[in-house]
Amino acid sequence: MKLGVNLWVWSSPFDLSRDRSLLTHVRMLGAEVVEVALEDDALFEASALRRALDEEGLACSAVGLFGPARDLSVADLATRQRGVAYARDCLDRCAESGIALFTGAVLGVGGREVLTKTDRQQRYERAAEHLRELGAYAIERNVRFVVEVLNRYETNLLTTAAEARDLIDLVAHPGVGIHLDTFHMGIEEADMHAAIRQAGDRLWHVHASESHRGQPGTGLTRWDQVRAGLRELNYDGWVVIESFNPAGRIAPLACLWRPLAPSPDTLARDGLDFLKLALGG
């Protein structure tokens, strides 16, 4: 298991010319993995990012932003095609840059309507068809592709590990896995250990997010359950702190209105130290 931090803790969008020194800083704070967001205005040259990651000895994951305009499950074919094109472009950028894992919430983001069982199944089936294609594309590029599970306030389709497992079993492709986030799990799951067990061998990525989105270890998240679940699976993937700088542009999207740590550095450093003890021993 490797521990890391998403650069949203400090700033966005990702700009390598500005954030190159931040990669060194993150490593010195104790991270083994850095996570960047492939926002439309992210700025980096692939070979330069690959070189920087190699120089720092950092693994790297990337977050894609799909949203309603790129939803892989809706009836509108043009919307789904935009989502597929975006995912393929992100996977290309990952492969060229040395980014080994790409994650995104690919369906139902922003959905507010109540879905019938039939509607839900049809949307899963549409998404699954595209995910099979993208799974094959990811394997060709040696990038892991994972689907993130959100909470009821952010999606009406994929909110629990059980639902994610149903979707991934429907996809039935070795190139697509599950991404769980402890913040969302704290809202939706009755038992985090049981949820991790349900994701099972398809759990390929974890966001370590506190119940209030701040520094891990300072809220109500049941880290004992998280540890028990990961140990049961012999999980050897990445656990990445995801939080947001309240002064940054992503904070309003996450409904983050106040500082949750004395500084981004404190959140990252002390959060990593906590996770090493809470999950590693």
pLDDT tens for each residue of 2-32: 999 999 999 999 999 999 999 999 999 999 9
Q: Which CA distances in Å does 8 have to 2, 14, 247?
A: 19, 8, 11
- pLDDT of residue 281 exceeding 70: no
Q: How many CB atoms lie within 10 A of CB 15?
A: 16
CA distance 175 to 207: 20
Q: Which residue has the higher pLDDT, 94 or 281?
A: 94
What pLDDT does 277 receive?
Answer: 97
- pLDDT of residue 113 exceeding 70: yes
Asked: is 2-280 a CATH 3.20.20.150 domain? The reply is yes
Give yes or no for a cis peptide into 252 (omega within 30° of 0): no
- pLDDT of residue 37 exceeding 80: yes
Q: How many CB atoms lie within 10 A of CB 21?
A: 9
What pLDDT does 196 receive?
Answer: 98
What pLDDT does 249 receive?
Answer: 85
Concatenated DSSP letters for 108-127?
Answer: -BT--SPPPHHHHHHHHHHH
* pLDDT more than 90, % of the chain: 93
Q: What is the mean pLDDT of residues 226-242?
A: 97
CA distance 19 to 59: 16
Q: Which CA distances in Å does 189 have to 155, 170, 280?
A: 15, 21, 23
Secondary element (H or E) of residue 152:
none
Of the chain, the end-to-end C-alpha distance in Å amounts to 11
- pLDDT of residue 239 exceeding 70: yes
Least confident of 38-42, 108-112, 120-124, 247-251: 247-251
- pLDDT of residue 247 exceeding 90: no
pLDDT 10s digits, 44-62: 999 999 999 999 999 999 9
pLDDT 10s digits, 144-163: 999 999 999 999 999 999 99
What pLDDT does 108 receive?
Answer: 92
Question: What angle do helix axes 117-140 and 161-171 make, rounded to 10 degrees?
Answer: 60
pLDDT 10s digits, 114-143: 999 999 999 999 999 999 999 999 999 999
